[in-house]
Amino acid sequence: MAKILVVDDAEFLRVRISKMLVGDGYEVIEAENGLLALNAYKAQKPDVVLMDITMPEMDGLTALREILAVDSGAKVIMLTALGQESVVLEAIKSGAKDFIVKPFERDRVVGALQKLIG
Amino acid sequence: MVFDISEDELPIFQAETEDHLTTLEDGLVRLEQDDRDPELLQALFRSAHTIKGTAGMIGHKRLVEITHVLENAFDAVRKSQLPISTNLIDLCLDTVDILRSLRDEVITSEASACDVPQMIESFRTFLDSTMDSTKEQKSKIEENSKTKSQGVTPVEKVSEIKQAEEIKGKIVTNELSDLKNANNELHIEVDISSTSVASAARAFQILMVLQSAGEIVHLIPTQKTIESAAPVGHLSARIIPSKSEEEIKKEILGVPEIDRLVFKNEVISLVEARSGENNSKAATQPEFEVSRLGEYLLSKNFITADELKTVLEKQKTYPPDSAPLLGQLLVSMGLLTQSVVDHAIEETMNQKRTAILTGGDSTKSGDHLIDRTVRTSVERLDALMNLVGELITDRNRLIKIHSAFERDFRGNENTNTLSEAVVHIGRITDQLQEEVMHIRMLPVANVFKKFPRMVRDMAQKVGKEIDLVIRGQETELDRSVIEEINDPLIHLIRNSVDHGIESPEKRLEDGKEKRGTIILSARHDQGRIVITVEDDGGGINIDKIKAASIRKGVITQAEADGMSDDKAIDLIFESGLSTAAKVTDISGRGVGMDIVRSNIERLNGSILVDSVPGKGSQFQIILPLTLAIVPTLLVKVRESVFAIPLVTVVETQKLIDQKFQTVNGKSVVVLREKIIPLIKLADVFDLAADKHETNFSYVVVVRTSKQEVGIIVEHLVGEEEVVVKSFGHVIGEIQGVSSAAILGDGQIALIVDVQGLIKLSANH
């Protein structure tokens, strides 16, 4: 069972994504900011990370770089919104595998995951 | 009003948006005072951003639009493109009000009356007038605020088209030369969807695929251009491949939001296969999902086996990576409506979910779903508190029984065992009560949080400059008390803004700081909570109070003359009294302070007022931590037991000389040179006299506001925590008595309402 780390400071988003994924048999772990995500990544080694960009404590871009520093093969998909074009590009350049734009539907998330996990 | 949100998500949505709305409101008020604290700005931006994200997920377009405007304004302030002004804060706060109404639509499912386009227009007009000096940024903000433009300005659009045309020209010429020299080169062209939010990032993803696929000999736009984050609509490349062509094609098609791919001579169009808004649904939908939906539709007779077969065959005519979903096909072929398909998908999802949740190996994933907190209803907590109350009554009863045993059978082995059990059950009950009370506790921040905005708006209305300082907002008290103190606090703060703090001119004249300060604080003090509202305004004018009281017939001229300042100040709690020079719409209508006091006293609390002319006023509200259980002093009068709330008790005195003095025909007692009026409970409540005359040997001095009175009783029974039982509708309200309690020995005691008692005795 693939393990997915969902990182977003909005609980609503985490719950929504968990609901999308758990039905398909993914194991979901959650973190509410970049710092907690980094710790969770080290401890739990998820298969894929779905990560918001704008977060308190540690933002998504920093967390992405930190995670990649720990595991250069980390598969991180950024969750983004309108108006973050340059940050998204920065994330892709830094090694994010993909990005998903909010609002997104279940198929988009599952599709992106399947592409990475196979 | 229908939003894409389920019932279990609603409370999370509500709580989370409420948090962010509070952050916004609070932060905006602070921003006006502190002036661009970068962390504060960041927090404001984040809150707007999060609301926008969540709104998008539930399909609340208007909420997305208006939050986007707010987010952009914060961004502009953050980048020093927009100065912080009162107008800006006003506008932002108005926007927050609209956000709240729009949020409430989700909860109530009813459309609100707020005018979103009008608000956005006002914002734009404002930006027009304030950002003239920085025109470039202004246009950027405006454009950004038009969410539909996807952040692409017309200028960029034009240059993009030009660029694309140039590229096309080049390709034609390139192609001619290509034919001659480069048979081993692979020619690739990609159209990135115009709806992509970050097309440059998609282009970069394609670039990465190409880099891993071989040597890039030609690339337009260049890597540098892509990295500038400018939108990329079209990408053209030639590479010398080091991988199989099939593999490269698959990898490129793996990048989402590609409209069209020209791969060697093959043209793959992905646009039609995609359904309107939903960009990259197609490529990755798993096979089994499709078949399960088909099975479900078939089993429910929504479609026939033949229809299903036709549709599946049609699906196979698409390229495997970009085939439309079964549901989409069914709808587009007119076999089913979207709502039926949606419902069917939901059902199949549910079936699968149930299968997984009941399956053996799902326990592991299930663990993560179990939160460490449990949501429960207030009714349940109230029921729990009631049960604990009953338990306390029984414990008190046990203690009584135990002491009877101690008296009659001291030293008996069973008595000792009973003693141990009673002590233990007593301790456990105490702990249980504490735990339950703890669960019911909420920080007063729940009430305090809306005051900064309120004070700001009111001060602005009356042309004053006021800072509200909040202290101890983490102090916790019972949620029932929290609910009740809201209105009294609003009254007090309004009064301070309207009557307390002087106008800036007046303050400067008096040699004070131009800005007035109101301090709202909360703290625990010996099992009670003390909430203080303090201002550094002009204080209460005693003479004016007296004059107004005489005019309203509350007191006579003679009474006024003989009245101490302490007592006179309490006149503000009399109904119908207003000393405000003019009635404003904030306060000064003469209703308020009397209601404030009666509200607080209904909670078994008390309110004290203190004022120094020219320096300011202080209102102190003292409340019990909970309303369900009250520590009381039990007293006995002619076989009846009364419980006097300990909050009000100042002291008790044994009366040695029972001959009371009289002042103005009323009984008083002199305690340490203080004259205290007396109330005889027996007289006030018309209790039948016993055959033999009883001795009223104790006086219990109680205090309400600044007034002290002595209650004459026969016996002091002792202190006891009693569980409050309201009278209910049958008995209704009784003046002088707030409620009843069952005591340890099974007797019923009436809980005295001191304020009511004083009024009652005055009428006697």
pLDDT of residue B690: 60
Q: What is the mean pLDDT of residues B376-398?
A: 84
**Into how many domains does chain B fold?**
6
Residue B739 · residue B721 · CB < 8 Å = no
Higher pLDDT, residue B667 or B145 = B667
- The answer as to whether B24 is a domain residue is yes
From B519, B547, B515, select the one nearest B531 (Cα to Cα): B519
Question: Beta strands B466-471 and B516-525: pairing type?
Answer: parallel
Alpha carbon of residue B257 to chain centroid: 39
| Assigned token pair, B92 | 């932002």
pLDDT of residue B577: 60
Nearest residue, CB atoms, B201 vs list A55, A89, A104 = A89
Nearest chain B Cα distance for residue A104, angstroms: 7
pLDDT greater than 50 at residue B123: yes
**Burial bucket for residue B529 (CB in 10 Å: 0-12, 13-18, 19+):** buried
**B442 DSSP 8-state letter:** E
- The answer as to whether B276 is a domain residue is no
Sort residue B47 into left (φ over 0), alpha (ψ -120 to 50) or beta. Answer: alpha
pLDDT greater than 90 at residue B122: no
pLDDT greater than 70 at residue B276: no
Same domain, B14 and B131: yes
Residue B119 · residue B15 · CB < 8 Å = no
Q: How confident is the model at residue B321 (pLDDT cuts 50, 70, 90)?
A: low
Sort residue A83 into left (φ over 0), alpha (ψ -120 to 50) or beta. Answer: left
Question: What is chain A's alpha carbon radius of gyration, rounded to the nearest angstrom?
Answer: 13
How crowded is the C-beta side of B21, counted as CA atoms within 13 Å?
20
Residue with tokens 């890597």: B223
pLDDT of residue A70: 92
| Assigned token pair, B283 | 């490529």
Of A83-92, B181-190, B416-425, least confident by mean pLDDT is B181-190
Q: What is the mean pLDDT of residues A99-117?
A: 86
Alpha carbon distance B649, B703 (integer Å)? 6
pLDDT of residue A96: 92
Q: How confident is the model at residue B693 (pLDDT cuts 50, 70, 90)?
A: low
Q: Which residues of B356-372 are buried (b: 16+ CB within 10 A; e: fewer)?
A: beeeeebeebeeeeeee
- The answer as to whether B572 is a domain residue is yes
Nearest chain A Cα distance for residue B205, angstroms: 7
Please name the residues in contact with B525: beta carbons below 8 A apart, sequence gap of 6 or more: B622
pLDDT greater than 60 at residue B273: no
pLDDT of residue B369: 42
A107 contact B CB<8A: yes
CB atoms B53 and A13 under 8 Å: yes
pLDDT of residue B349: 66
Of B73-87, B368-382, B597-611, B720-734, least confident by mean pLDDT is B368-382
Alpha carbon distance B562, B541 (integer Å)? 17
pLDDT of residue B319: 65
In sequence order, which ranges of chain A are alpha helices (DSSP H)?
11-22, 34-44, 60-70, 85-94, 106-117
pLDDT of residue B332: 75
Same domain, B341 and B294: yes
Of B331-335, B436-440, B473-477, least confident by mean pLDDT is B331-335
pLDDT greater than 90 at residue B674: no
Higher pLDDT, residue B666 or B436 = B436
Same domain, B425 and B449: no
pLDDT of residue B578: 55
Q: Which residues of B705-725 are buried (b: 16+ CB within 10 A; e: fewer)?
A: bbbbbbbbbbebbeebbbbbb
Partners of B610 in the β-ladder: B618
Contacts of B278 in chain A (CB under 8 A): 105, 107-108
Nearest chain B Cα distance for residue A47, angstroms: 14
A25 contact B CB<8A: yes
Same domain, B254 and B196: yes
A118 contact B CB<8A: no
* CATH code where residue B460 lies: 3.30.565.10
Alpha carbon distance B215, B210 (integer Å)? 8
Sort residue B711 into left (φ over 0), alpha (ψ -120 to 50) or beta. Answer: beta
DSSP B192-244: EPTT-TTHHHHHHHHHHHHHHHEEEEEEES-HHHHHTT---SEEEEEEEESS-
From B320, B597, B380, B569, select the one nearest B485 (Cα to Cα): B597
Average pLDDT value over all residues in chain B: 78
Report the residue of chain A nearest B46, measured CA to CA.
Answer: A54
Alpha carbon distance B275, B257 (integer Å)? 12
Of B82-91, B349-358, B431-440, B446-455, least confident by mean pLDDT is B349-358
pLDDT of residue B397: 86
Q: How confident is the model at residue A46 (pLDDT cuts 50, 70, 90)?
A: very high
**Into how many domains does chain A fold?**
1
- The total of other beta-carbon atoms located within 10 Å of residue B653's CB is 15
Last residue of a domain, one of B247, B269, B291: B269
Same domain, B450 and B479: yes
A93 contact B CB<8A: yes
pLDDT digits (tens, 9 = 90+) for B94-113: 999 999 999 988 888 888 88
From A13, A97, A14, A92, select the one nearest A48 (Cα to Cα): A97
Nearest residue, CB atoms, B151 vs list A11, A30, A82 = A82
pLDDT digits (tens, 9 = 90+) for B200-249: 888 888 888 888 888 888 888 888 888 887 888 888 888 888 888 888 88
pLDDT of residue B692: 54
pLDDT greater than 80 at residue B144: no
Same domain, B709 and B736: yes
pLDDT digits (tens, 9 = 90+) for B514-533: 899 999 999 987 777 899 99
Report the residue of chain B nearest A31, measured CA to CA.
Answer: B368
- Is the peptide bond between B256 and the residue preceding it cis, with omega within 30 degrees of 0? no
Q: How confident is the model at residue B9 (pLDDT cuts 50, 70, 90)?
A: confident
Report the residue of chain B nearest A8, measured CA to CA.
Answer: B50
**Burial bucket for residue B480 (CB in 10 Å: 0-12, 13-18, 19+):** middle
pLDDT of residue B363: 39
Q: How confident is the model at residue B323 (pLDDT cuts 50, 70, 90)?
A: low
pLDDT greater than 80 at residue B297: no
Q: How confident is the model at residue B147 (pLDDT cuts 50, 70, 90)?
A: very low
pLDDT of residue B291: 52
Residue with tokens 């300990």: B646
- The answer as to whether B364 is a domain residue is no
pLDDT of residue B214: 84
Higher pLDDT, residue B129 or B412 = B412
**B360 DSSP 8-state letter:** G
Q: Which of B7, B9, B50 to mutate to test the interface with A (most CBs of A within 10 A)?
A: B50
Same domain, B334 and B478: no
Q: How confident is the model at residue B573 (pLDDT cuts 50, 70, 90)?
A: confident
Q: How confident is the model at residue B174 (pLDDT cuts 50, 70, 90)?
A: very low
Same domain, B77 and B201: no
CB atoms B144 and A83 under 8 Å: yes
pLDDT of residue B292: 66
Alpha carbon distance B200, A84 (integer Å)? 11
pLDDT digits (tens, 9 = 90+) for B483-506: 888 888 988 998 899 888 999 999
**CA angle B182–B187–B192, rounded 5-degree value:** 160
Helix axes B135-145, B61-78, angle to 10 degrees: 160
**B278 DSSP 8-state letter:** B
Alpha carbon distance B192, B608 (integer Å)? 71
pLDDT greater than 90 at residue B11: no
- The answer as to whether B580 is a domain residue is yes
Alpha carbon distance B84, B86 (integer Å)? 7
3-class SS of residue B51: helix
Alpha carbon distance B172, B187 (integer Å)? 12
Same domain, B138 and B168: no
Higher pLDDT, residue B442 or B178 = B442
Please name the residues in contact with B647: beta carbons below 8 A apart, sequence gap of 6 or more: B528, B604, B605, B606, B622, B624, B631
A58 contact B CB<8A: no
Same domain, B597 and B472: yes
Nearest residue, CB atoms, B50 vs list A9, A24, A93 = A9
pLDDT digits (tens, 9 = 90+) for B405-451: 888 888 888 888 888 899 999 899 888 988 888 888 888 888 898 89
Nearest residue, CB atoms, B368 vs list A28, A88, A89 = A28
pLDDT of residue B354: 57
Q: How far apart are the first and last CA of chain B?
A: 60
Q: What is the mean pLDDT of residues B703-707?
A: 72
Question: Beta strands B441-443 and B528-535: pairing type?
Answer: unpaired
From B91, B20, B85, select the one nearest B51 (Cα to Cα): B20
Last residue of a domain, one of B118, B149, B180: B149
- The answer as to whether B417 is a domain residue is yes
Same domain, B299 and B394: no
Q: How far apart are the first and last CA of chain A?
A: 12
Q: How far is CA B30 from CA B89, B265, B453, in A?
A: 10, 62, 9
Identity (one letter) of the amino acid at B731?
A: I
Q: What is the mean pLDDT of residues B105-129?
A: 84
pLDDT greater than 50 at residue B145: no
| Assigned token pair, B201 | 């990032």
- The answer as to whether B277 is a domain residue is no
pLDDT digits (tens, 9 = 90+) for B277-296: 444 433 333 444 445 677 77
Alpha carbon distance B632, B569 (integer Å)? 28
* CATH code where residue A108 lies: 3.40.50.2300
Residues of the domain holding B197: 154-269
- The answer as to whether B370 is a domain residue is no
From B692, B693, B653, select the one nearest B676 (Cα to Cα): B653
Residue B503 · residue B463 · CB < 8 Å = yes
Of B340-354, B606-620, B641-655, B736-750, least confident by mean pLDDT is B340-354
Of chain B, the percentage scoring pLDDT greater than 70 comes to: 80
Partners of B663 in the β-ladder: B666
Q: How confident is the model at residue A13 (pLDDT cuts 50, 70, 90)?
A: very high
Q: What is the mean pLDDT of residues B48-62?
A: 89
Contacts of B362 in chain A (CB under 8 A): 25
3-class SS of residue B391: helix
Residues of the domain holding A97: 3-117
Q: How far is CA B17 from CA A51, B54, B98, B349, in A?
A: 20, 9, 13, 28
